Amino acid sequence: MLCESEGKLIEERESLGVVMADLHVHTCLSPCAGLDMTPMKIVEKARQRGLSLIAVTDHNTAQNASAVMAAALGSDLRVIPGMVVTTAEEVHVVALFETLESAAALQHVVFDNLTPGIKNDENLFGMQVISNEFDEVVGFNERLLIGATTLDLGEVVDTIHRFGGLAVAAHIDREGFSVIGQLGFIPDGMDFDALEISKRLSLAQGMAQFGEYERFPFITSSDAHSLDEIGTVSTRFRAAGPEMDEIRLALSGKKGREVIVAMEGC
């Protein structure tokens, strides 16, 4: 016989749907991304791949997030603003926000902590194109966005949380620019909201390989730098819809929301 709380949880879960999300997508503003990673093309490809939610996560800036969000208006795709912050230890942390204002607040801090006076070398790193929602070039960011900030890992995570965002340790299964690759471990007390597995492993494989960190929820994202990479892997969330508060609940495993993990062979 089910108790009242168990019955309510089952009822809530049965009323939820599946949200397909790719929470790590770059645009043409990231110097290492293709110049065809423009707002309209990103939205078109994400919809073709059956995604219901993406996050715009350029290196150390959120300047193209509003354009991708505008390009998705009126469609069945939801876009949330974010960025990939590079810490002083050269660890990539994905920051996800509900509003552009919160993302802009983090961007202000990040810009203040990028090495001053050093500009991007387009011949070496690539162009950093600011676009509008119609895929028109409206400017270029001349900062060295590919570089590291002077903020250490703890400062970055704390700042993301201060502005109401989620802090995700990026591609922990990679050697380059991951917290485990750079430090060798995840420091005790580091308050990540999730750990990201790259497309090199399935989510189940990543969870098994990094089982010592089972206290954290795991997700998987494409880290797309080209159109063909968008949605090649994604996280399935059981949630009421593609909203930031629903993703937050799913990562916490609350109110029937959860990350759906397909076991190997299923």
Model confidence over 82-100: pLDDT tens digits?
999 999 999 999 999 999 9
Q: Give a yes or no: residue 167 inside a domain.
A: yes
User: What is the per-residue pLDDT across 68-82, written as a single tens digit (0 to 9) for each?
Assistant: 999 999 999 999 999
pLDDT value for 165: 98
Write out the chain's pLDDT in tens, 266 residues: 455 455 455 556 667 999 999 999 999 999 999 999 999 999 999 999 999 999 999 999 999 999 999 999 999 999 999 999 999 999 999 999 999 999 999 999 999 999 887 999 999 999 999 999 999 999 999 999 999 999 999 999 999 999 999 999 999 999 999 999 999 999 999 999 999 999 999 999 999 999 999 999 999 999 999 999 999 999 999 999 999 999 999 999 999 999 999 765 44
Q: Give a yes or no: residue 51 inside a domain.
A: yes
Do the Cβ atoms of 172 and 210 come closer than 8 Å?
yes
pTM of the model: 0.93
- Per the structure, the count of domains in the chain is 1
CB proximity list for 115: less than 8 A, separation 6 or greater: 144, 147, 148, 150
Distance CA 240, CA 237 (A): 9
Nearest to 107 by CA among 62, 163, 168: 62
pLDDT value for 5: 52
Q: Give a yes or no: residue 1 inside a domain.
A: no
pLDDT value for 160: 98
Q: Give a yes or no: residue 139 inside a domain.
A: yes
pLDDT value for 8: 55
Do the Cβ atoms of 21 and 53 come closer than 8 Å?
yes
Q: Give a yes or no: residue 5 inside a domain.
A: no
Helix (H, G, I), strand (E, B) or coil at 129: strand
Q: Give a yes or no: residue 3 inside a domain.
A: no
Whole-angstrom Cα Rg for the chain:
18
Q: Give a yes or no: residue 10 inside a domain.
A: no
CATH code for position 46: 3.20.20.140
pLDDT value for 266: 45
Token digits of residue 262: 């397909």
Q: Give a yes or no: residue 4 inside a domain.
A: no
Nearest to 166 by CA among 233, 129, 203, 219: 219
**Residue ranges making up the domain that contains 192:** 21-260
Token digits of residue 244: 């930031």
Sheet holding 166-169, edge to edge: 218-220, 194-197, 166-169, 92-96, 78-86, 53-59, 17-25, 235-239, 258-260
